[in-house]
Each structure stands twice: as C-alpha cells, then as structure tokens.
Structure 1
C-alpha cells in the first residue's frame, strides 16, 4: 500500500471495528455535501479480509493521518471470476455514507402518536432557527425523541447551535426526512451530516467554511490538471404557491426569479400549500418559505469539475473539505468561487487522486448557483465578441 493511500477498516452492526482491509486493489470514495456519499472497493475473494466484507457490516475510510473521510454500511458485495483469475475471483464491495440513515424515515404529521392516530395533515415548525428545526425533525422522527417503534438506537444529535435564519415551515405529511432537511439547509445556507462518533451516529449541522482566499486552484499554480463546466437549464422560474382552499379561503401568490442564461424564460410551478390554514398568523412566512425552496430547487444549475493536485500547502481533508468554499481560475483567467459539492477520492496500491465537483446541485447555497451565473456571463461575453467580429 502506498504511503498516501487511504486506510479502510471494517465495522460490525454495532459500529465496532473488527479489522483492517489493507489489501484492496482499488478504492473509490465520494463524499457529498448534504447528500449520501458512496464507497466502492475491489479486493480479491481470496483475501483474509473478505469475510469481514458482508452486508450488515460497514466500512470506515481514513487518511494516512487517521482523519475519517467517510463511514457507512455495506450494501452490496458482488463476486465475479474470469478465466484469467488464478484464485477465487474478485469482490466489488459497495457502501453508502452514514447520512443514508436520514433517508430511511418520513416526517409524520404527529410524530409522537401511533400510526393509527395520525389525524393531522402536516407538522409545523414555527419561528425557529433553521438548525433547531432540522434537529427537531430528526429527533422526533428517528432520534431519541421518536416513538419507541421508530427510534434508531444508534442515532444521536450534536448540541444545537441555532444556526441559520428563523424559519416557519409546514412539513407535508410523510415527506422524506432527508429531502426536507436538504430543502431547509439549502435555503438557510447550512450543511449537515451524520458521522460516527465512538459507537454512535451523530447528526450534526454546521456552517460551511469560506476558504476561497486560501484554497485556490489554477493551472498557473501547478495544482490543477483539468477543469470543465456544464450547465442544466432551470425547471422553475415562477413558483405559484397556493394555500388553503378546503377549510379556509384560498390564497395564491407568485414568486419570480429570472434565470441569468434565459432572462425572458418563464417556467411556472405549482407549490401545494393547501393544507395551510389561511387564517394562520404566519401564513405569509410559510408561503415565502415554500416559494423560496421551490425556486432554489428549480433554478438553473452549473457544475464545475476540477482535478486538483495535492501540494504541501494545499491538501484535501486538511486545507479544504466537502462543503467548503474554494476558488478556481477558469476560462479567460477569471477566478470562480463556490462550494465543493462532492469529491471523488481514488486510491490504488500505488497512487491516490482527488477530483472535486464545485457548484451545481439543487441544494445549493443560493437561489441560482454562482457558477451558473458565471457561465452565463462568459457565454454572453463570447456572444458579444462574435457579434463585433461579424460586424
């Protein structure tokens, strides 16, 4: 194993380490910001570590310095053998990050009540900090405060830092917990994760770190090997929020956000808030929150992929992480700044590489991702240049 290769350990269902997997042939780890990450590991089926790699167990991936990159449960163990294999064949092990625990649960309208007594149509978060609201949803649907039949004994919560602005939000009955958290975090510009702390899985909310002045990547600096960007058109530029209509009068309101690449494009999307009583004193706050989330999720997106090179003064895991803001010098020499959405770490017996994806993703930190705005400006500039040459 190369000195800079990632270390892999197996754990059992109780999160206890049961051995190191030191003879893998290839390892790919993809941490993602506010989303479920992935691990893929190739190893000989003859390996002494093979019995540790079973569904129900898990993997812990660490750097050579002992920093945990990702951990999570094993989901697949696939076997294959070809005529050229001298031994028992090969295993490809697939795992997901511990964030997946959040995707197992839905948001009950009355979380402390048995399923047969669910009479409410929604659960309401009223005038609370975004982090407080997120922790509340995790606690009462899956954590220590959940019904005994739903409580996950491995899940704990970090202390509440009351991060993010104040929100008032009605959570529709049985919405997926992870999706709701992504919506709230995206609008509040927060990050969240589930990581292993001792023999427990801890839900944490944090404010991403701006490292744009120190984590800078450029071909000229010699710490960037390639870069590319892509765009995805918007799906919603006008949110039509409708509240009430059953037991209270209907109220409708539109929220608009012009797209920088298609400024004249109008894409309407219905946002169902008909379960909200329009007599509520916080009706406006609830409709505003729903409109903001719809425009965030439906905004045009840009994604920048860069392959940075670790240098002594700038290394992934030490000087920047997923969720941090970094800078990259792109087309025309301009500097672009945005959040690291995911990182693909590849480790073999001889080498390790890092590829980062910056910007994009509907759970972004702004209604329209900053890279999308940047690319729109570049394309407009190129268009004006062509027009001048044609003239």
Structure 2
C-alpha cells in the first residue's frame, strides 16, 4: 500500500470497529463544511473484506498518520461485472457522513409535546447565543432531550462553547433540522458537524480556524497543481418583507443590497412574514433577519477550485481541514482568502491520495461570498487596464 493512501475501517450499527478494508481498489470521498459528505469505495467482490461492507454498517476513513478524515453509515452496496473482468466482479459501496443523521429530523414548534398536541405555529429563539440555540435544536428534536419516540440513542452533545452572536428568530413548524442549522450557522459564522466519539455520534459547534497565514497555495510555491474559479449572478438584490395583515396590521419594509459585479441590477423578492403578529416585541428583528437571509441566499456567488500538492509541511488532514480558512494566489498575483467548503479526496492503494479543494462557493454563508466580491474587483481592474491600453 502506498504510504499516503487513506486507511478504511468498517464499523457495525453500534459504531464498534469490526475490521480494516485494506484491499480496496479505489476510494473517492468528499468531506463538506456544514453539509453531508460522501464516501464511495470500490472493491473486488472476491475480497475477504466484503462481509464487512453491508448496509447498516459504516465506514471510518483515516489518514496514514491516523487522523480522522470522515465516517458514516453505508447506504448502498452495488454489484457489477463485465466480460472483461475476472473473478466475481466488483462492489461499489456508498456511504454518507455522520452529519447525515441531522437530516432525518424536523424542528417541531413545541418539541416537548406529542404530535397531536402541537398548538404552536413556530419555534422561537430569543436572545441566546447561536451555538446554544443550535445545541437546543438538536437536543430537543433528536438528542437526549427529545421525546422518547424521537430520541436517537447514538446522539450526544459536545459542551457548549457559547459561540456566535445572540440571535432572535422564528422557525417554521417542521422545517428540516439540518437546513435550519445551516441557516443559523451561516448567519453566525460558525461550523457544525457530527463525528463519532467512542460509541456515540457527537454534535459539535465550532468556530472555523483561520490558517490563511500558514496554509497558502500558489504555483510559485510549488504546492498548486491547478486552479479555476466561476461566478453566478445574484437572484435577489432587494427583499420586500411583509409582516402581519391577517390578525394584526400589515407592515412592509424594503431592504436593498448592491451586487459588486452588477451594481446597477435590481432583482426583487417577496419575503412572506404575514403569519407573524406585528404586535410582537421582536418584529423588527424578525423582519431584519428574514431580509438578511433572503439577500444572503440570493447573493451573487463565486467558487474557487484548487488542486493542492500535499507536501510534508502542508498536508490536508494535518495542517488544514474542511472549514478552515486558507489562502490561494489567483489571477493577477493577488492572494485570496476564504473557507474550504469541501475537499475531494481520491485514493488508491497503489498511487496514494490526491486532493482537490473547493474554496468559497455558493453556500450563502456570507452576505456576499467573499470570492465573488474579490472576482468583481479583479474583473473591474482588468477592464480599467484594457481601457488604459486602448487609450
């Protein structure tokens, strides 16, 4: 086995490790920041490891140095064979990251009572830190504090670090738990994940680490194989928020945000808060937050993809992770800094592991993705340069 190849282990439904899968043909995995990652493993159907690879079991992937890359339950095990293949064919085993467990639950307006007694229309968060609110959502809807019929016995909660700003918001009844956590974390600038700790799946909230001073990638430094970026135009630059109008007086407010790449473009979007009582003491905070979310999700986006070259002094999994902030030198020689949103790892026993990182992206987690603003500035500078040359 190549010393840089990833190590794969199988676990059972109680999260106990049951063996190593050392003879896989290829492994492709994508750890993601604040989202569900994926793991796809191909192996000969003749392998002695195949009894370990069953739906209901799971995979644990570690670096050669023993650091955890990702883990999660196996979802599908597919078999195929062609006339050109010897033996019994191959198995394609697909798993998802443990963060997937959050997508199985919804946010009940009153998580403490049975479904037949749900009288509230919304679940309210008022004045608590973002991390505290996120932990409460998981705890009451899926974790130790949930109703017995909803409680997942594997889920535990890491200690609250009281991270992020105090937030005020209402959550619509039965919104998806994972989606709500993504919205809250994005607005607060936080990360979250579910990782295996012992025989439990621990929900953790964390502050992304800024490694832009040490995790730096460029062609000149010799640690960058290729790089590319793309942009997507905005879908909302003006939020029209309307509250009340049913059991309380109607209130309307307009929020504008200029797009850096299309400064003259106006795209309106209606934000419906008509189910909110305008007598609510936190109405303005709710309207402001609803507008912020609409403008954020509809902002122009940019994404940067780079293929770093793992060097002893700068390796994925040891010196930077998904969620960390890194730097890359782009067109024109300027340095761009942003969060690693996801990483694609491809590993074979013979050739080791290659890395491709996506930085920035369309997660909507900043008011306007920083790379989009950066690219807008670069393109404007290039236009000015062309105009000067033409003159």
Q: Same fold (TM over 0.5)?
A: yes
How far apart are residue 284 of structure 1 and its match?
Answer: 1.2
1:1-391 equivalence runs, <5 A: 1-350=1-350, 351-364=352-365, 366-391=366-391
Give the Cα–Cα distance (whole angstroms) in 2 for the partners of residues 164 and 16 of structure 1.
34
Task: Decide whether the 8 Å contact of 1:299 with 1:362 is kept in 2.
Answer: no
Task: Decide whether the 8 Å contact of 1:134 with 1:181 is kept in 2.
Answer: yes
Give the Cα–Cα distance (whole angstroms) in 2 for the partners of residues 167 and 305 of structure 1.
33
How far apart are residue 76 of structure 1 and its match?
Answer: 1.1
Which moved further from structure 2: 246-255 or 37-46?
A: 246-255
Per the alignment, in what secondary structure is the counterpart of residue 168 of structure 1? strand
Give the Cα–Cα distance (whole angstroms) in 2 for the partners of residues 38 and 264 of structure 1.
40
Give the Cα–Cα distance (whole angstroms) in 1 for the partners of residues 317 and 252 of structure 2.
47
Per the alignment, in what secondary structure is the counterpart of residue 240 of structure 1? strand
Give the Cα–Cα distance (whole angstroms) in 1 for the partners of residues 28 and 186 of structure 2.
27
Which moved further from structure 2: 354-363 or 72-81?
A: 354-363
Which moved further from structure 2: 381-390 or 210-219?
A: 381-390
**1:134-190 deviation digits (Å, cap 9, x = unpaired):** 111111111111111111111111111110001001000111111111111111000
How far apart are residue 390 of structure 1 and its match?
Answer: 3.4
Which moved further from structure 2: 188-197 or 251-260?
A: 251-260
Question: Normalising by structure 2, what TM-score?
Answer: 0.98
Give the Cα–Cα distance (whole angstroms) in 1 for the partners of residues 242 and 108 of structure 2.
22
Give the Cα–Cα distance (whole angstroms) in 2 for the partners of residues 35 and 320 of structure 1.
18
How far apart are residue 85 of structure 1 and its match?
Answer: 1.3
Give the Cα–Cα distance (whole angstroms) in 2 for the partners of residues 311 and 115 of structure 1.
54
Give the Cα–Cα distance (whole angstroms) in 2 for the partners of residues 133 and 275 of structure 1.
22
Task: Decide whether the 8 Å contact of 1:78 with 1:91 is kept in 2.
Answer: yes
Per the alignment, in what secondary structure is the counterpart of residue 204 of structure 2? strand
Give the Cα–Cα distance (whole angstroms) in 1 for the partners of residues 269 and 174 of structure 2.
21
Give the Cα–Cα distance (whole angstroms) in 2 for the partners of residues 128 and 370 of structure 1.
27
Quote the RMSD (CA, aligned, Å): 1.0
Where structure 2 has 5 or more consecutive residues not aligned to the other structure, the ranges are none
**1:56-105 deviation digits (Å, cap 9, x = unpaired):** 11100011111110000111111100001110000111110001111111
Task: Decide whether the 8 Å contact of 2:237 with 2:299 is kept in 1.
Answer: yes
Question: Normalising by structure 1, what TM-score?
Answer: 0.98
How far apart are residue 292 of structure 1 and its match?
Answer: 1.2
Give the Cα–Cα distance (whole angstroms) in 2 for the partners of residues 362 and 307 of structure 1.
20
Task: Decide whether the 8 Å contact of 2:103 with 2:176 is kept in 1.
Answer: yes
Which moved further from structure 2: 109-118 or 340-349?
A: 109-118
Give the Cα–Cα distance (whole angstroms) in 1 for the partners of residues 193 and 159 of structure 2.
14
Per the alignment, in what secondary structure is the counterpart of residue 184 of structure 1? helix
Give the Cα–Cα distance (whole angstroms) in 1 for the partners of residues 362 and 191 of structure 2.
13
Task: Decide whether the 8 Å contact of 1:238 with 1:255 is kept in 2.
Answer: yes
Task: Decide whether the 8 Å contact of 2:299 with 2:364 is kept in 1.
Answer: no
Deviation >4 Å, runs of 4+? none
